[in-house]
Amino acid sequence: MILTGPAITTAIRAGEITIDPYDPAHVSPNAYDWRLGDTLRVCAGELDAAAPTAYTEQTIPSSGLVLQPGLLYLGVTHERTGSEAYAQLLNGDRTIGSLGIWVHVSAPLGHQGHAIRWTLEIRAARPVRVYPGMTFGKLVFLTTQGTAASYQRQLAKYATTEGIDISRLYEEIGAGRR
């Protein structure tokens, strides 16, 4: 089940959910409105699942940055979020979608115990200017059933992510090629 806005606020006060920095004005009826961080990695070349992705890194200036179609951008959330009690789903929202921005379509699940600034996959349908700190999507918190297994305490390849992280599928492919 999805937590309501008041339940999110209660869980934050109880220390069951971490959102840093937290702004109560960003709590909506069933979600928290997360914001875009100030850094993007631009992946412009050919991508190969068996090799680390080449990229350039850009800081988004306060005057904004125009995203171009045909490029893959890896961004980061402004907020660090997590919970040992709840799983999370991170999505874009209608406002961003109406600008022709697809964000975080392929990996919206934040496991119980995963406390991170999220790496975002961003694509633009048309040239569109984005700004650091702008509202970019919704984060929902979900109750879980069964025995909890904290993601941070497992040997998962993204457990220690603290910002933008490229795909590390090459680690699995390389191990299988030996």
8 Å CB contact between 85 and 150: no
User: HEC states along the chain?
Assistant: CECCHHHHHHHHHCCCCEEECCCHHHEECCEEEEEECCEEEEECCCCCCCCCCCCEEEECCCCCEEECCCCEEEEEEEEEEECCCCEEEEEECHHHHCCCEEECCCCCEECCCCCEEEEEEEEECCCEEECCCCEEEEEEEECCCCCCCCHHHCCCCCCCCCCCCCCCHHHHHHHHHC
Active site residues: 121
